[in-house]
Homo-oligomer: A and B are copies of this chain.
Amino acid sequence: MSGERALRADAERNRRRLLDAAEALFRERGLDVGVAEIAERAGVGRGTLFRNFPTKQDLIAAIVIERMQEATEYTRTLLDAPDAGEALFGFLEELVGRQQLDRCLFDAVADTFLANEEIRAAHAQIVAGLEGLLTRAKESGAVRGDIGAMDVLVLLKGVFEAASAFASSEPGMVTRQLDLVRAAISAHAADRPLRGRPPTLADIERTFPRDEKSVAQTG
């Protein structure tokens, strides 16, 4: 038993190293970095990567899911915050501050979305969490009423995508972009209503239709 735990510890350490190495390299140079380099950076053999993540896509998905789950958990800690508006804006800042959701990972979501039921689930949770923050912020009058969680997420995704390239050399730019997001969704911006209706999670999921395999594996 202790033997099993010891072994597990080693394996877990390698898994962690692989996730960290991959995330760092993806962030630095995009999703095209080779698995060989990831394994090298993690200090493990190529086969170990494969043992932990049978496919490069699985590795990417694992990272994305981790980041999403962290974001979801963070929304939970904010549900009881006294100022609902600040909770929402703080959430967005935090995401940026931690650089938890960077460009290439968002790309990955698009690529992997349809093939991975786990990502759909993690995504649905993060949407639900944001929805909670948003509802309270609307009630408190901090945020315009005609906006949905998907609106914010897409806007956020855009900011990250656009700003991530400058994150290291021009950190101030990210802050300004966040301020712009805040201005966009603030209540006092509502004098000019948004066209259309807030997109729903279903709208997004419809864009990435499930494929047979994925459904078969999961359901």
Contacts and interface: CB of A to CB of B under 8 A. Distances in A.
Copies in the complex: 4
A23 to B, nearest CB: 19
Interface stretch (A118-126, A127-135, A157-165): A157-165
A64 B32 CA distance: 22
A24 interface: no
A175 to B, nearest CB: 5
A181 interface: yes
Contact of A199 (B158, B172, B189, B204): B172
A177 to B, nearest CB: 6
Interface in A181-219: 181-186, 188-189, 191-192, 194-199, 203-204, 206-207
A154 interface: yes
A166 interface: yes
A70 interface: no
A199 B180 contact: no
Contacts of A150: 173
A35 interface: no
Nearest to A196: B172
A79 B155 CA distance: 29
Interface of A: 103, 110, 147, 150-151, 154-155, 157-163, 165-166, 169-170, 172-173, 175-177, 179-186, 188-189, 191-192, 194-199, 203-204, 206-207
23 contacts: A150-B173, A154-B162, A154-B166, A155-B180, A157-B161, A158-B160, A158-B163, A165-B207, A166-B199, A166-B207, A169-B207, A170-B203, A172-B195, A172-B199, A175-B195, A176-B194, A179-B194, A180-B194, A181-B184, A184-B184, A184-B189, A188-B191, A189-B189
